[in-house]
Amino acid sequence: MYRFVLLLPAAGAGLTGSKMARRVGGVDEFEFKAIGENHNQGRLGVEILISGFVFEKEDFIRPWEGLNDNLERYSLQWESKNLIALMKQGAMMTVLSTLVTALAWPAALLAATDFIDSKWTIAINRSNKAGKLLAEALLKGLQGNRPVTLVGYSLGARVIFKCLQCLAKTENGAELVERVVLLGAPISIRDENWEAARKMVAGRFVNAYSRSDWMLGVAFRASLLTKGLAGIEPVDIPGIQNVDVTDHIEGHSSYLWATQQILDQLQLDTCFPVYNGVSCIQSGAEPEIWMKGGGQDQKV
């Protein structure tokens, strides 16, 4: 078991005053960055936004800059050096270009997925550890006595999920998180305890997935095999709202620029009943909600 060491901030500094004092549990970087102007204004809620597919440090903040809500917002910058190197130096684009030419050659495809396994196993391991650190930060009360909204895409979504799992093992974890949105999450459906994670969220728990995100499917199915993947299919667990964002996502990197539009259509400040499936449609139209029941889908 490792210790999460914080340089404790002065009163009122909150999340931005916290920073790891040293390398902890295999994680080299874990730091909150303030976003927007809703700080030191007595906001009643805190929002932590976590990128997980980045090509430069600005990508930890860029997808979240245009959001317009009443929350005090922070991005989590974690493992930037390793994540950037992973995305730029052969873990994704080079391998995927090989896959395109290998589709007719099963042996070459298998070799490529083996390569992806080795790279993404490291990334998954780091995101698991970052999730534990996030849980410890929340349990320490750095956000103040305020409800927290957690939003993340790609490996950032996995950080959130692992945070919830850690909170589920504590006595006070259920009192901290109000809402959760997972976008393109590399999380196994059948091998993870989704029920425990759901119990840690007082309000809406959204799983946004894209059926056409073949990059995520290939990269993570290489290691998760046929266990199901939340980022490309619904999670059939009571209380989890599945949102199909296929129309917005051309590839996994689309979350870098499509996240704001998706979040706008989710209308997080609106209290929706929790249904099994929600279709997120084009901008300018009202969301279409489909309820699964009685053996058929019903439009609500």
DSSP line for 243-271: EE-TTT-SSGGGHHHHHHHHHHHHTTTS-
Under a CB-based contact definition with an 8 Å cutoff, are residues 170 and 177 in contact? Answer: no
Q: Are strands 148-153 and 205-209 parallel, antiparallel or unpaired?
A: unpaired
- Is 169 a member of any domain? yes
- Is 4 a member of any domain? no
* pTM assigned to the model: 0.80
The domain that contains 82 carries what CATH number?
3.40.50
- Is 83 a member of any domain? yes
Under a CB-based contact definition with an 8 Å cutoff, are residues 25 and 136 in contact? Answer: no
DSSP secondary-structure letter at 24? B
Mean pLDDT over 186-215 rounds to 92
- Is 52 a member of any domain? yes
Q: Where are the beta strands (DSSP E) in 147-270?
A: 148-153, 177-183, 205-209, 241-244
- Is 5 a member of any domain? no
Mean pLDDT over 137-165 rounds to 94
Mean pLDDT (the chain, rounded): 76
More confident residue, 252 or 207: 207
- Is 66 a member of any domain? yes
Mean pLDDT over 276-299 rounds to 42
Question: Minimum mean pLDDT among 30-34, 94-98, 130-134, 185-189: which range?
Answer: 94-98
Under a CB-based contact definition with an 8 Å cutoff, are residues 244 and 277 in contact? Answer: yes
The whole domain housing 119 covers 14-299
- Is 225 a member of any domain? yes
Q: What is the number of domains present in the chain?
A: 1
Residue 52 pLDDT > 80: yes
More confident residue, 36 or 118: 36
For residue 91, give both structure tokens. Answer: 């873990």
- Is 9 a member of any domain? no
